[in-house]
Amino acid sequence: MTFSILQPAQILFGRGQAARAAGLARNFGPRGLLVHGASPVRAAPMLAMLGPETLALACASEPTLAMLETATQAARAHRPDWVLAIGGGAALDLGKALAAMIPAPGSILDHLEVVGKGLPLTAAPLPFIAIPTTSGTGAEVTKNAVIGLPEHGRKVSLRDDRMIARIAIIDPALTDDCPWPVTLASGMDAVTQLIEPYVSNRATPYTDAIAFPAIEPALRALIRMQQGENVAARDTLAWASLCGGLALGNAGLGLVHGFAGVIGGRTGAAHGAICGALLGPVLAANRARAEGQSRQKLQRVCAILEEVFGCTDEQGPETLSNWAHGAGLSRLSALGVTKSHHASVATAAQSASSSKCNPVEISHQDLCSILEQAG
């Protein structure tokens, strides 16, 4: 048995922990860069604590190459000592990418996967502090930043072990009163990012230990949140998101995310919504084909669905999908994926890096069938 563990040097979890961010950031130097979501309102208290030597940049949407290039120019002119990102997965990805690219001597395309050269960074990234305000992506504890290239119809990663945050602060209070559609989509992403690393062909005892125990509580918390705001459920979802990020960062993901990178790049649809629509059909397809330990793990996941939803374990994946769509999650067709797209999306998903961690190989025809079920 051989494996390694990659995670931030310091992880702070709990309500009120975000108040420590400014003091911790200033330990890296006086000049900072704050990356926040589209609205500056939630980031305003943090900016006030960080002080006048901090430049604030907004991330109005999921980051694209053009957005990253523009932000990199502005950030380099400010000469920050560190980068702090507060927001959803998009803001965290942009902050993570800026921390990597501000000191980098070359072009961003030198380091992007798939469409670029995929070269390792030649300069160490700036210290990066990550503070999520949604529970889903786990981006606060991963080593890659997802960047969209609309002209290529793809989302690709900027990736390096040194890009992982120096400090990740998960304060569930920052997720309170998040609208239900966002909570649902991000929560389904969190559940996906617990299940896929658990059944991944790169799973380890470490990833199994943190992913599997969080699956059932995450599902129950998400169901509880459908009924209205609940502090305990928010805390559970924040913990699930953190566990999923740590698990995927060390075991990879699977076919759901292989599809999601392609679909998100082509349609611009929300990542969590795409993952939520695909999770049930992919689970069912994997379970039907898996053998040995992979099949045992998939059966354990389906047994959780049986317990949570009161169905048979064979009905679990479909029941999960039906619940999510009944709760308001869009189907793929509503996200811009029509039947005419299925063949090309399936072809692109087969070569995606996440798909290589899927527990079984699935034919192109069956990939199209998955898309049809999710549509």
- CATH label of the domain that carries residue 315: 1.20.1090.10
For position 226, what pLDDT does the model report?
Answer: 96
Residue range 133-138: mean pLDDT, rounded: 93
- Single residue among 174, 189, 224 that ends a domain in this structure: 174
**How far, in whole angstroms, is CA 370 from its chain's centroid?**
21
Report residue 277's pLDDT band, with 50, 70 and 90 as the boundaries: very high
Residue closest to 160 by CA, chosen among 112, 230, 95 = 112
Q: What is the pTM assigned to this prediction? A: 0.94
Q: How does DSSP assign 211-261, residue by residue?
A: HHHHHHHHHHHHHHHHTS--HHHHHHHHHHHHHHHHHHHHH---HHHHHHH
Number of domains in the chain: 2
Residues 109, 207, single domain; the answer is no
- Single residue among 174, 208, 226 that ends a domain in this structure: 174
Tokens 């509880």 found at? 224
Q: How far apart are CA 332 and CA 338, in angstroms?
A: 8
Could you give the percent of the chain with pLDDT greater than 70? 100
Q: How far apart are CA 72 and CA 78, in angstroms?
A: 10
Residues 212, 248, single domain; the answer is yes
Q: Which domain holds residue 142?
A: 10-174
Q: What are phi and psi of 84, to 5 degrees?
A: -120, 130
For position 374, what pLDDT does the model report?
Answer: 93
Q: Name the amino acid, one letter, at 87.
A: G
Residue range 325-353: mean pLDDT, rounded: 93
Residue 40 above 90 pLDDT?
no
pLDDT tens digits for 162-189? Answer: 999 999 999 999 999 999 999 999 999 9
Q: How far apart are CA 175 and CA 15, in angstroms?
A: 10
For position 375, what pLDDT does the model report?
Answer: 86
Residues 14, 137, single domain; the answer is yes
Give a yes or no: residue 5 inside a domain: no
Give a yes or no: residue 1 inside a domain: no
CATH (domain of 16) = 3.40.50.1970
Residues 168, 184, single domain; the answer is no
114 or 232, which is more confident: 232
Give a yes or no: residue 4 inside a domain: no
Residues 194, 283, single domain; the answer is yes
Distances (CA, A) of 34 to 9, 50, 78, 93, 225: 20, 9, 11, 13, 30
Residues 242, 284, single domain; the answer is yes
Strand 154-159 and strand 144-149: the pairing is: antiparallel
Residue 349 above 80 pLDDT?
yes
Give a yes or no: residue 28 inside a domain: yes
Q: What are phi and psi of 250, to 5 degrees?
A: -120, -15
Residues 255, 369, single domain; the answer is yes
- Single residue among 174, 189, 204 that ends a domain in this structure: 174
pLDDT mean across residues, the chain: 94
Residue 291 above 90 pLDDT?
yes
pLDDT tens digits for 74-125? Answer: 999 999 999 999 999 999 999 999 999 999 998 888 888 877 778 889 999 9
Residues 221, 75, single domain; the answer is no
Residues 155, 241, single domain; the answer is no
Give a yes or no: residue 62 inside a domain: yes
Report residue 252's pLDDT band, with 50, 70 and 90 as the boundaries: very high
Residues 185, 270, single domain; the answer is yes
pLDDT tens digits for 292-316? Answer: 999 999 999 999 999 999 999 899 9
Residues 196, 285, single domain; the answer is yes
Residues 194, 105, single domain; the answer is no
Give a yes or no: residue 3 inside a domain: no
Token couple for 108: 């961003």
Long-range contacts of 303-311, Cβ-Cβ distance < 8 Å, separation of 24 or more: 304/215, 304/216, 304/219, 305/219, 307/216, 308/216, 308/219, 308/220, 308/223
